[in-house]
């Protein structure tokens, strides 16, 4: 360490710092990340931001129903995005809808990730018949389009936030399992796993402390994409009337509610929730694309 | 090969059977159709009569055996709502869905290949960049939202195209088709475009990647060196080589296009089997739900089997793997 001569020590390059620098190389991806964080914060702190609680009936005024964007409310504030048929402020409705959409999307992706990753690691580590059986199930699951599987489950279980989450988890887990198994199969032939096995470490320790951290990069990429897919699928299911109940409207249900008014030119009831949905999904996808480019070992120099 | 085929067939059969149990039990656990179908004013005797007529008084396993027996005879129950055989209802709606799905797949080839070809030939140009950015949107936009926007712009604002229904249909082979009349075609444009957007993006990206991969290859250079016109090199030599993956993927996508027709049909009130299933779920019309799910499972198991079979025929490497 002879760097004492230099007044400013160059920051040591850690893998994490390199990752951050590479991610930030794309301005679009950085902007998308900032946007996504802002959307997330807006959803979390929605009760402190919005002018009215859209589901407190006492605060709604039916006389304010279907007002175009920019109208003034009886209570004095402006409906910047207009109102729906119940006189509900669309801006407030959208932020509350975002809470449900993001909660369901992120929540189901996380549960599916934990479940799918565990199965994938187990399949790769156990090998043999266990591996074959699990992968057969994955193949079967992936041979049916996601919307059909979700439709099937919700046709059986009925509406409800928890049912939607369950349906999304069942749709998504196979992607994680396949991804983790593929990278775990490569990693488990490496020397460090051999070394860990020679140390007679318990199997679960090898699987979760040695194998898992090295399978993380592709998992992060798949996870981001799956969050976007889950949000889109939830919105689609809710639009079809199979998803969340009317008491907990997500963005998809807001769009469905405005559908009938769109044909008579009252576009804002459907249009703005749609824009919110769109911006959220595109932002997540852009972040995911950049993550894939940065984390893909094949593209690394 | 024969052993492989038999094993694969048994597997497919097993999947169908397992799905039938799951679907049957799942659908029979939710809701009580008795409450929905029988008016509250009906007296006890009438209730008992209707319950017996629908077979709802039997234990679940007996209902299932009855269901399997009937299903094997092509009878999946009568719709509670329409009082018609459920299978017949679905069969009546199927041509509309197929017409929509096939048109969407054709459109994806019609738009996807030329756009992808252009983007692959001039990757640095502004037009190509716009095309690629558009394809990202095509992947990420939810289908139903794009459908709504199409209706809003082309039906409500501009008034160019009708927003819902199939329009006038004409008969061919005893089935009503929209694409045979001008009015029907006008009704078909928006839903088909909506359904094909995802596939257009997919075909476009595949074509572009294929062109970029093929252009630096020796046979292309050789064709150029021979003095062939650029048009002939691109449309015959290059295009022929990239068609294989594109056609494979498009064929595979037919299945999920039929599945996603559920969404498009609901948005555009297209009277296909997707709209039927959504309506049936909302009124808990169990025989129709079960019949639709069984039909779709059968359809997908068949598609998967055919695809596997085609791969084995086309690609010897898969065949060797199956043996080993």
Cβ atoms within 10 Å of B40's Cβ, excluding its own: 5
Strand spans (E) along B201-240: none
Residue A296: its pLDDT value, please? 66
Residue A224 predicted with pLDDT over 70: yes
Q: Is A8 on the interface with B (CB under 8 A)?
A: no
- Phi and psi at residue B85, to the nearest 5°: -60, 135
Angle between helices B286-314 and B239-268 (to 10 degrees): 180
Residue A182: its pLDDT value, please? 85
Q: Is A246 on the interface with B (CB under 8 A)?
A: no
| Contact predicate B88/B295, CB 8 Å | no
- What is the residue-averaged pLDDT of chain A? 79
The percent of residues in chain A predicted with pLDDT above 70, rounded, is: 83
Structure confidence by residue, pLDDT tens digits, A49-79: 777 777 766 666 666 666 666 666 666 666 6
Name beta bridge partners: B176. Answer: B171
Determine the 3-state secondary structure of B76 from DSSP: coil
Nearest to B115 by CA among B243, B195, B203: B203
DSSP secondary structure code for residue B40 in this structure: T
Residue A66: its pLDDT value, please? 64
pLDDT band at A108 (very low <50, low <70, confident <90, very high): very high
Say which of B26, B148, B163 has its CB closest to residue A274: B148
Residue A301: its pLDDT value, please? 41
| Contact predicate A141/A174, CB 8 Å | yes
Q: How far apart are CA B253 and CA B205, in angstroms?
A: 14
Residue B251: its pLDDT value, please? 74
Q: How far apart are CA B105 and CA B253, in angstroms?
A: 8
Determine the 3-state secondary structure of B217 from DSSP: coil
Which one of 3.40.50.300, 3.40.50.2300, 3.50.50.60, 1.10.3720.10 gives the CATH number of domain B88-287? Answer: 1.10.3720.10
Per-residue 3-state assignment (H helix, E strand, C coil) for chain A: CCHHHCCCCCCCCCHHHHHHHHHHCCHHHHHHHHHHHHHHHHHHCHHHHCCCCCCCHHHCCHHHCCCCCCEECCCCCEECCCECCCCCEHHHHHHHHHHHHHHHHHHHHHHHHHHHHHHHHHHHHHCHHHHHHHHHHHHHHHCCCHHHHHHHHHHHHCCCHHHHHHHHHHHHHHHHHHHHHHHHHHHCCCHHHHHHHHCCCCHHHHHHHHHHHHHHHHHHHHHHHHHHHHHHHHHHHHHCCCCCCCCCCCHHHHHHHHHHHHCCCCCHHHHHHHHHHHHHHHHHHHHHHHHHHHHCHHHCC
**In this complex, do A281 and B142 lie within 8 Å of one another by their Cβ atoms?**
yes
**What radius of gyration do chain B's Cα atoms show?**
25
Nearest to A218 by CA among A259, A170, A184: A184
A301 or A227, which is more confident: A227
- Partners of B141 on chain A (C-beta within 8 Å) are 278, 281
Structure confidence by residue, pLDDT tens digits, A36-48: 888 888 888 777 7
Highest mean pLDDT range out of A7-11, A264-268, B299-303? B299-303
Nearest to A168 by CA among A118, A121, A217, A102: A102
- Evaluate the CA torsion angle B295, B297, B299, B301 in order and state its sign: negative
**In this complex, do B304 and A255 lie within 8 Å of one another by their Cβ atoms?**
no
Residue A111: its pLDDT value, please? 93
**In this complex, do B144 and A240 lie within 8 Å of one another by their Cβ atoms?**
yes
Residue B132: its pLDDT value, please? 81
Highest mean pLDDT range out of A107-111, A195-199, A286-290, B216-220? A107-111
Residue B324: its pLDDT value, please? 40
Q: Where are the domains of chain A?
A: 93-299
Q: Is A271 on the interface with B (CB under 8 A)?
A: yes
Q: How far apart are CA A259 and CA A263, in angstroms?
A: 7
Q: What is the mean pLDDT of each run of 10 residues along chain B (324 residues)?
A: 79 82 72 60 73 70 76 73 79 85 88 86 79 80 84 76 69 67 75 88 86 80 81 79 76 81 85 84 78 82 78 62 49
Structural class in CATH, domain A93-299 = mainly alpha
Q: Is A2 on the interface with B (CB under 8 A)?
A: no
Nearest to A282 by CA among A235, A229, A240: A229
ipTM (interface predicted TM) = 0.76
Q: Is A277 on the interface with B (CB under 8 A)?
A: yes
- Average pLDDT (A153-175) is 85
**In this complex, do A155 and B27 lie within 8 Å of one another by their Cβ atoms?**
yes
């Amino acid at each position: 360490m002879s760097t004492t001569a230099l007044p400013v020590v160059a920051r040591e390059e850690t893998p994490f710092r390199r990752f951050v620098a590479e991610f930030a190389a794309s301005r679009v991806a950085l902007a998308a990340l900032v946007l996504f964080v802002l959307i997330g914060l807006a959803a979390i702190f929605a009760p402190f931001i919005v002018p009215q609680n859209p589901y407190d009936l006492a605060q709604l005024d039916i006389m304010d129903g279907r007002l175009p964007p920019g109208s003034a409310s009886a209570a004095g504030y402006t409906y910047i995005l207009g109102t729906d048929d119940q006189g509900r402020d669309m801006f407030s409705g959208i932020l509350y809808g975002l809470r449900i959409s993001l909660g369901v999307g992120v929540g189901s992706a996380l549960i599916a990730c934990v479940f799918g990753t565990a199965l994938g690691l187990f399949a790769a580590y156990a090998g043999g018949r266990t591996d074959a059986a699990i992968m057969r199930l994955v193949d079967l699951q992936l041979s049916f389009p996601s919307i059909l599987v979700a439709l099937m489950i919700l046709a059986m279980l009925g509406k409800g936030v928890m049912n939607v989450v369950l349906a999304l988890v069942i749709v998504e887990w196979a992607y994680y399992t396949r991804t983790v198994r593929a990278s775990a199969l490569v990693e488990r032939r490496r020397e460090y796993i051999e070394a860990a096995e020679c140390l007679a470490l318990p199997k679960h320790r090898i699987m979760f402390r040695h194998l898992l951290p090295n399978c993380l990069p592709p998992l992060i990429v798949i996870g981001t994409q799956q969050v976007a897919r889950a949000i889109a699928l939830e919105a689609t299911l809710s639009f079809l009337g199979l998803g969340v109940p009317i008491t907990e409207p997500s963005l998809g249900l807001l769009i469905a509610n405005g559908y009938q008014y769109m044909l008579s030119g009252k576009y804002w009831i459907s249009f703005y929730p749609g824009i919110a949905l769109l911006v959220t999904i595109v932002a997540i996808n852009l972040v995911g694309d950049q993550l894939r480019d940065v984390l893909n070992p094949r593209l690394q120099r | 090969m024969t052993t492989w085929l038999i094993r694969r067939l048994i597997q497919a059969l097993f999947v169908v059977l397992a799905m039938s149990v799951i679907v049957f039990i799942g659908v029979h656990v939710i809701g009580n159709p008795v409450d929905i179908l029988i008016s509250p004013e009906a007296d006890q005797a009438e209730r008992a009569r209707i319950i017996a007529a629908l077979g709802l008084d039997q234990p679940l396993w007996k209902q299932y055996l009855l269901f399997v027996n009937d299903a094997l005879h092509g009878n999946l129950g009568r719709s509670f709502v329409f009082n018609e055989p459920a299978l017949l209802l679905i069969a009546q709606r199927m041509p509309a869905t197929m017409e929509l799905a096939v048109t969407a797949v054709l459109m994806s080839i019609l738009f996807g290949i030329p756009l992808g070809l252009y983007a692959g030939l001039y990757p640095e140009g502004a037009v190509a960049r716009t095309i690629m950015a558009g394809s990202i949107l095509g992947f990420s936009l939810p289908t139903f939202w794009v459908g709504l926007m199409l209706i809003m712009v082309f039906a409500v604002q501009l008034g160019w195209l009708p927003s819902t229904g199939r329009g006038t249909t004409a008969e061919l082979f005893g089935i009503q088709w929209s694409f045979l009349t001008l009015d029907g075609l006008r009704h078909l444009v928006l839903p088909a475009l909506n359904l094909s957007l995802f596939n257009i993006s997919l075909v476009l990206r595949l074509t572009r990647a294929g062109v970029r991969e093929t252009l630096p290859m020796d046979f292309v250079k050789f064709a150029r060196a021979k003095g062939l016109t650029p048009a002939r090199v691109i449309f015959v030599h290059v295009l022929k080589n990239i068609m294989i993956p594109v056609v494979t993927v498009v064929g595979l996508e037919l299945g999920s296009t039929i599945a996603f027709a559920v969404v498009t049909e609901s948005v555009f009130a297209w009277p296909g089997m997707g709209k039927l299933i959504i309506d049936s779920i909302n009124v808990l019309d169990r025989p129709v739900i079960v019949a639709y799910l069984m039909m779709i499972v059968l359809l997908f198991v068949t598609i998967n089997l055919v695809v596997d079979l085609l791969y084995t025929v086309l690609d010897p490497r898969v065949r060797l793997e199956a043996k080993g």
